[in-house]
Structures are given as C-alpha cells and as structure tokens.
Amino acid sequence: MVTRVFTVDPLVPRGDLLRAAAEILRNGGLVAFPTETVYGLGADATSAAAVSRIFEAKGRPQDNPLIVHVHSYDAVPPLVAELPARAEVLMYRFWPGPLTLVLKKSRLVTENVSPGLATVGIRMPDHAVALNLIRLSGVPVAAPSANASGRPSPTSASHVLSDLGGKIEAVVDGGPCGIGVESTVLDLTVEPPAILRPGGTTREAVEEVLGDVVLDATVVNAGGPKSPGTKYRHYAPSARVFLVDPGRVPAGGLLRKFAAEFAARGHRVGVLASSEVLAEGGTSRKPTGEWDDQGTAWLDAGSERDLDEVAARLFDNLRRFDDLGADVVLAQVFPETGMGLAIMNRLLKAAEGRVLRSGS
C-alpha cells in the first residue's frame, strides 16, 4: 500500500484534502492526522473492522484501549451510558484540549475500542485539522498515537511515515504538534477521579476544577495496571535509556561522568540535557546532535524553566538519538510539577524504570 500524504496549512486546512481524508475514514481506512498533542492514527470508532486495522498497523496489544475523538460536545452523550455533571464541567473548561475523560461506554462504541472494559476514553482535540477531519467524516474517530507500538509518539508527519508508511492509507501533514506529549487521561468512573496518564493538561489545572485527584499506581510506576496500556514498554527509542538524577550534585558534571563511563565501554552515548546544562561553563557540548571524539552526542532538551518546550521536543529528541545510532541514552531528570509530571512519566517508561544517581 502506498500511503498518501495530504499536506495542509494547520490553521487553514484545505477543505478538498480534508474531505478526501474523511472519505477514507468513512470507508473503513486508516488516516493519521495532527492534533495539538501528537499525531493520531484514526479509524471509524463505530466499525469493528476499521478499529481492528489500527491494532494491526501499530502492532498494538489487543487489550490496550483506544481514545475516541469527537469534534462537538453533542457527539458525547451517544457514546456514553451516563454523563456525570463533573464530566460536563471538565468538557466545557478544557475542551477542545489535551484531556481525555474515561466514562461508562454506550453500545455505539464498538467492542474492540476498549476490549473487555465497560468504559471509553473520549476527547476533543484542539487542532483545526483534527476537528474538521472528524466533522467531515461524520463519525467518532478512534485514534491512538500514530507510532508503531512501543516507539515514541509521533510529533510530525515524518515520524508517522517512518513507523507506519506503507501500512496506512493516508497521513494528513499539518506540521509539528505544539504540545508534544499526549493528553492527560482522567478516569471519572472512580472516586476520587484518577489520573491514569499525566499529559498535556496539568494535574494542578484539573484539581482547580475538581479538587483533589489521585495519581493511578501505574503513573508512579508501581502496582497493577489500570490503564491497560501502561504495562507495556513505551516511548522507547532503540537505545537503552537511563534517567540521570543528580540530586544535589551539578547535573552537567554527573551527565559527563556517566557519559564517559559508557563511552569507555564502547557505547555510542546520546545525552539529553537541559539548555542550562549545555550552557554551563566548561561543558563545551554542542547540542548539534553530532558525535564528539569521545563517542557522545548531546541534544538540547529545552530549558529547565520552560517545561512546555521540553515536552514539545521530547519525542523528536528521542527519535533523533535513533537516527544518530545511539545505543545508550542518558536523560536528565526534570521537576515533576506542571508539564514535568508528563515528561518524567514518559522518560521513566522509556527508561523502563532505570535511574542512575550520584554514587551509582
């Protein structure tokens, strides 16, 4: 199969191209499209055959449920068995935007969207391409991130094509995604509501509306999986990723020490460091993504004071280490406030929990 590429202006997408893409969705095909978080791989959520092709194309485990994307508030009631008042409050406050609400599902949601579960995750993306594509398709659109299962989520059409080119009918190229990490998944079927996956809507913002919410055990990396997807390896480049937690010692020095140790053992070491660390006197690391004579390559994660920037670049940075051929990646830790919670969740999963500290 040749994957068609529809290139559109993200702010003023061309109607004829979106209609062609919507037609593919209506006919049971797969179309990747940009959202404000990451690219999604869309299929008609009311068609079991279309939805099962998503799992095939991604190599996704069958028990990992999909998010259903809508373009209007009116599209929600038919998808759910009940719509609690607090769900509506959150919808009006945060939609369109990076918040997925887990609610009790109706029979309109085809079984394999959330196999074996009584619930469905729903969100309204904040992106003109996504909203218009869903509207033109006339159906709710099931869409996981448009990466091959286990890989970092795609934040550009080229990421999508490198994972899924030839396996899907089309990708709508609307340029890079703004937020760069996926939506926050909030379970409203439990008391208190639980964040199953931290993401583009911060915990703090949700708590301003709802009061206290809890972080599911899988977010803090322990216990049995509730969001079924969280038990699999995720967000990982080909390299083995290690988080480097400097504690009280300077981050730059510790990154250099571990990078030198791995390089001395013959590894090609990618280092993901903050702009501050890269600018430190004596670090003399060019964030050019080129190999230096020690066998290390440094990429700029973004500023420690601008975690939105770190999030926006995160998955592209992880994929760039693959392109460079790194076999070990050392990633600096970031504070777990605001967007930092989502950033650290993705990095910890990419690292499969491996953390290096001073003294280790």
Q: Which residues bind ligand TXA (CB under 6 A)?
A: 35, 37-38, 40, 64-67, 98, 100, 102, 114, 117, 119-121, 125, 143-145, 182-183, 185, 196-197, 227-230
Give Cβ neighbours of residue 311 (< 8 Å, ≥ 6 apart).
Answer: 179, 180, 181, 200, 339, 342, 343
- Of the pair 144, 302, the CB lying nearest ligand TXA is at 144
Closest CA relative to residue 138, chosen from 302, 262, 14, 25? 25
Compare residues 118 and 264 and give the one whose CB is closer to ligand TXA.
118
Q: Which is nearer to ligand TXA, 35 or 47 (CB)?
A: 35
Compute the least distance from the CB of residue 234 to Mg ion, in Å: 7
Element (H, E) at 184: strand 184-187
Q: Between 96 and 302, whose beta carbon lies closer to ligand TXA?
A: 96
Among 145, 155, 202, 332, binds Mg ion (CB under 5 A): 145
Q: What is the DSSP letter of 111?
A: G
Closest approach of Cβ 226 to Mg ion, in Å? 16
* Cβ-based neighbours of 119, under 8 Å, separated by 6 or more: 65, 102, 103, 104, 105, 187, 189
Nearer to ligand TXA by Cβ, of 86 and 267: the residue is 86
149 belongs to the binding site for Mg ion (CB under 5 A): no
Distance CA(278)–CA(282), nearest Å, equals: 9
Q: At its nearest, how many Å lie between ligand TXA and the CB of residue 119?
A: 4
Q: 3-state DSSP: the chain helix, strand, coil percent, rounded to 5? A: 35, 20, 50
Provide, rounded to whole angstroms, the least separation between the CB of residue 291 and Mg ion: 30
CB of 153 to Mg ion, least distance (A): 5
Residues within the interface to Mg ion (CB under 5 A): 145
